[in-house]
């Protein structure tokens, strides 16, 4: 998506630059004298038409580009704020210890009910990614080795 | 003697015709291999296995993480007829898609890492095919067309 935006902005800038260059050339009239060509025929100079009154000059074009770029930057910042937060909770040793104690308690009991399993999983969800992986592995490993009877 | 022969022939015809009408079946009873860290089976065979502890399935859980986000993980679990069970979990998006696509009569397989305390899934698969459907389901009939 960023690449697409970058290409769009680049294309817009290129078009504006080309327009500006053309306008500048038009304002600098070429010598009207005809030049002989190799074939001996004369090439007529381009017809210079006066610019319309509402045509922006170079300074105005720069201002427009700056304004567009600013609007684009603001839009990206807004989109980033609106996007859901992707980072997980930070490590919390106390929460990790609580979850681990709960798993150990169920292992000691030898079984875990469906309700307790859901409660436990909700607690695991509040851990940081490393903690989640560790606790889910501990839980499932206990089930796989027959130390804990229960279903996910 | 002739009557018995006719009866036997009649019985054979009935049996053969019913098996031909039933289509190909390939039940896959749940198998859990803790050495190879692999489990497989089809849902219908597991569910309708008489007097068996067999089961197999996959699921996805999504929980509020308490920080304004969500934590989602998927799992597969199985138990064979003898009661040997296994499970694994994953956060991998591709594996979650496979798990989410399981349906009532799917065949499922999964494997897990099992190194140390690691119980993450290393492979997950499923397929849903006619030969996993249980007995007793009615065949599709053509929809009656109203001539009006």
Taking each helix axis as running N to C, give the angle between helix A129-144 and helix A93-109, from 0 to 180 degrees, rounded to the nearest 10.
10
Q: B63 vs A141: CB contact, 8 Å cut-off?
A: no
Nearest CA to CA, how far is A123 from chain B (Å)? 8
Closest chain B residue to A126 measured between Cα atoms? B65
Q: What CA–CA distances, in Å, run from A100 to A72, B54, B112, B116? A: 48, 29, 22, 17
User: If 0-12 CB within 10 Å is exposed, 13-18 middle and 19+ buried, where does residue A9 land?
Assistant: middle
Q: Which residues of A touch B46 (CB under 8 A)?
A: none
Q: What is the mean pLDDT of chain A?
A: 77
Q: How far apart are CA B81 and CA B49, in angstroms?
A: 8
pLDDT in tens, A1-30: 666 677 677 777 777 776 776 666 655 544
Phi, psi values for residue B116, rounded to 5°: 60, -125
pLDDT in tens, B41-87: 999 999 999 888 999 999 999 999 999 999 999 999 999 999 999 99
A46: its two tokens? 């381009």
Asked whether the CA dihedral A10, A13, A19, A24 is positive or negative, the reply is negative
Residue pLDDT tens, chain A, 152 long = 666 677 677 777 777 776 776 666 655 544 444 444 444 444 555 566 666 667 677 887 788 788 777 776 666 655 545 444 557 889 999 999 999 999 999 999 999 999 999 999 999 999 999 999 999 999 999 999 999 999 99
Q: How many CB pairs below 8 A link A and B? A: 73
Smallest Cβ–Cβ distance between A137 and the set B59, B65, B120 belongs to B120
> Strands B107-112, B38-42: parallel, antiparallel or unpaired by DSSP?
antiparallel
Q: B34 vs A144: CB contact, 8 Å cut-off?
A: yes
Closest chain B residue to A120 measured between Cα atoms? B63
Q: Which residues of B touch A99 (CB under 8 A)?
A: none
Say whether pTM exceeds 0.95: no
Smallest Cβ–Cβ distance between B119 and the set A121, A126, A136 belongs to A136
Closest chain A residue to B68 measured between Cα atoms? A85
């Amino acid at each position: 998506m960023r690449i697409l935006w970058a290409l769009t902005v680049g294309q817009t800038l290129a078009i504006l630059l080309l327009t500006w260059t053309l306008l500048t050339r038009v304002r600098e009239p070429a010598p009207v004298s005809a030049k002989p060509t190799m074939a001996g025929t004369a090439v007529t100079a381009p017809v210079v038409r006066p610019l319309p009154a509402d045509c922006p000059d170079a300074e105005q074009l720069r201002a427009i580009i700056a304004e567009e770029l600013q609007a684009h930057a603001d839009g990206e910042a807004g989109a980033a704020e609106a996007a859901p937060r992707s980072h997980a909770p930070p490590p919390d040793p106390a929460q990790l210890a609580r979850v681990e104690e709960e798993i150990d308690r169920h292992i000691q009991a030898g079984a875990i009910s469906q309700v307790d399993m859901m409660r436990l999983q909700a607690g695991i969800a509040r851990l940081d990614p490393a903690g989640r992986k560790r606790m889910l592995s501990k839980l499932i490993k206990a089930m796989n080795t027959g130390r804990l009877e229960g279903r996910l | 003697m002739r009557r018995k022969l006719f009866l036997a022939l009649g019985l054979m015809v009935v049996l053969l015709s019913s098996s031909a009408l039933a289509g190909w079946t390939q039940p896959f009873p749940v198998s859990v291999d803790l050495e190879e860290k692999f489990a497989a089976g089809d849902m219908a065979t597991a569910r309708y296995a008489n007097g068996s502890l067999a089961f197999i399935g996959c699921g996805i859980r999504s929980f509020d993480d308490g920080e304004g986000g969500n934590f989602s993980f998927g799992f597969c679990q199985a138990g064979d007829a003898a009661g040997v069970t296994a499970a694994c979990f994953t956060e991998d998006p591709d594996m979650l898609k496979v798990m989410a696509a399981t349906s009532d009569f799917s065949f499922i397989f999964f494997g897990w890492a099992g190194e140390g305390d690691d119980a993450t899934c290393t492979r997950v698969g499923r397929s849903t095919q006619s030969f996993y459907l249980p007995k007793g389901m009615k065949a599709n009939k053509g929809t009656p067309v109203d001539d009006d």
